[in-house]
Chain A
Amino acid sequence: MPVLEYKCPNCGGGLELNPVNQKMKCPFCLSEFEQAEIERIFAEQEKNKFNTDGAEEEEKARKDAEFAGSTNIYRCQSCGAEIMADDTTAATFCLYCHNPVVLSARCSGELRPSRLIPFMTTKDQALSNYKAWCGKKWFVPTEFKAIETAEKISGVYIPFWLADCSVNGYVHAEGKKIRTWTSGNYRYTETRIYDVARQARGVFHGIPADGSSKAEDGLMDALEPFDYSNLREFSMNYLSGFLAEKYDVDRHEVFPRIKSRVDENTETTIRNSMNYDSVNILDKNIVIEKTDWEYVMMPVWFLTYKFNDKNYYFAMNGETGKVTGILPLSKKKLLIGSCLVGLIGFILGIIGGGIFL
């Protein structure tokens, strides 16, 4: 399988995307290039290569593809080392020379995303956000906070399906309006019952659902919202310097998650249009009439850490910087905290009991 490496025209080092200015940066000579410029240089280099030793390269590529097809092992074009990758990896690093490598075949044809949101936050920002987030949590074990995480945090392009859904919903309910007033020594309660029906339609644009079985759905949902105004036409350039996954959960498998969200929101929206003191839904029928799909990649800073034989996750939206995750809980701290709060309850109980008993 062919691999892509964007090399620095000055020193030959592997270029990485700089999230701050969206330029390709060489970490060795610190040169920066516009993406269009690099694509042009890269295209010229490929053309020259083909002209000089095309037959030889073709044969080599064919053998590589044959080899890779069966083993998921690729050859780094910088140092010649073999790169092992699993079935879903689309971009990675060479373990030996640490050059960024894009497995282009994993992002072409059907697997090619139409658009992506490039990383707009740096690793340092992700790290400082993680530390700030973790530091605020009082019940996280102290020894966990001391774990060095800098090297473990990775920028990953996660495959996402964006669904545009046209929905038609019908809700039949019983609504009650309740009015109370006092007259003399009596309190009156008047209940007016209404038969309520609503038929509504609407369009949801770009409901995201991750297409990676490795990424936990709840964690990915919590990273929303992404700002779609930053979606760009897909280019391999953006993947350079980051990890990337191709989808292994297709849109049919993702659809139930999308449907559940659309159903729930449609029902809530319709219910909110019923201005009653209480609403009892008698019947409902929410149908998604049409769904358009788009395959995109979203930037996520990701950290998985093992603590006391359990895995915990941290994720940060690579575009907006929003953080989420699951942290370990110190049982000792939790018990101490709960006892302290319980003590307040005890004191209040004693005071209250002393006054009223």
Chain B
Amino acid sequence: MRKLFRKLSAVICAGAIACTAFAFSAFADDNEDGRCWVYGNAISSSDETECEKKLDEASDKYGIEFFAVFINDKTYSDSSVEAYANQLSYKYTNCAVMVNNSATRYTYVARTGDKTKRVSSSKATKITKNYINTELKDNDYVSAVQGFIKGIRRYSSFLSLGVILIGCLGFAIFFLIMYFAVKAKYKFHEKPNTGAYLEGGDLSYDVMMDTFVSEHTTRTAINTGSDGGGGGGSHSGGGSHY
């Protein structure tokens, strides 16, 4: 019985993957020119043209292949969207792909290559939340594409805002330590060593009493779970609903 269940599960999963692959290959056959691909009239043709232009410009300027895919089909699950974005991003050396399914209100960003290697899965999720979905809520697709490019650029850069802030914090800490250390040194009077005048270098003790009072023991569980994350692969992605 169990074996049968396993076999059935395997068949169902394989079928689902095959259907997804087939569906997206059908899409791909439909519309694989340019950088902005639209399925099911997800966005208007004027927006598509504008997005295309923005993606072209960004790709030329930054040496990263930017793609945006807009789908409007509620039969495609989030995992299908992710699989499609990942599949597309693997085709290029340095690539960033944004896939949006307006029917399920889900956006996913995937990337490959060294130029975008700093964009981890969590950062890709941040890009969708903070740069793309905020615009998509207003159905502003062109701004969403611009946000996507901006987000990828920001998180790809070594000098992200967070890093600069840490640098500034480092500057402030080192500056203040130096400033006050020097100021204190220039005011400092060496404290005399009174112990040098003590006869024999020590006191003589009339009473030295050490009485045991109590004892208590505490027990703390050691956290053995590994906190570390996986290595920095050359591919990652992240998505969110809006």
Contacts and interface: CB of A to CB of B under 8 A. Distances in A.
Contact of A349 (B169, B187, B192, B198): B169
Interface stretch (B26-34, B37-45, B64-72, B157-165): B157-165
Given A345-B171, A357-B163, A265 B194 contact: yes
Contacts of B75: none
Interface string A165-209: 001011000110000001001111111111111111111111100
A206 B197 contact: yes
Nearest to B190: A222
A273 interface: yes
Contacts, number: 194
A71 interface: no
Contact of A185 (B158, B169, B190, B224): B224
Interface in A296-355: 324, 326-327, 329, 334, 337-339, 341-350, 352-354
B167 A225 contact: no
A188 to B, nearest CB: 6
A265 B187 CA distance: 23
Nearest to A185: B222
B172 interface: yes
B208 interface: yes
Interface string A113-127: 000000000000000
Contacts of A256: none
Contacts of A254: none
Contacts of B212: 192-194
Contacts of A345: 170-175
A155 to B, nearest CB: 21
Given A192-B212, A198-B208, A357-B166, A349 B171 contact: yes
B197 A205 contact: yes
B5 interface: no
Contact of A262 (B168, B194, B205, B220): B194
Contacts of B222: 182, 185-187
A278 interface: no
Nearest to B180: A338
A303 B117 CA distance: 64
B210 A196 contact: yes
Interface string B203-224: 1111111111111111111101
A133 B239 CA distance: 65
Interface in A99-140: 137, 139
Contact of A346 (B171, B187, B208, B215): B171
A101 B212 CA distance: 68
B226 interface: no
| Most chain B beta carbons < 10 A, residue from A195, A198, A337, A342 | A342
A264 interface: yes
B174 A353 contact: no
Nearest to A219: B189
B183 interface: yes
Nearest to A168: B206
B171 A343 contact: yes
A205 to B, nearest CB: 5
Closest 4 CB pairs of A and B: A349-B170, A345-B174, A342-B175, A353-B166
12 contacts: A189-B217, A192-B212, A195-B213, A199-B205, A202-B199, A202-B200, A222-B192, A265-B195, A269-B198, A338-B176, A342-B175, A343-B171
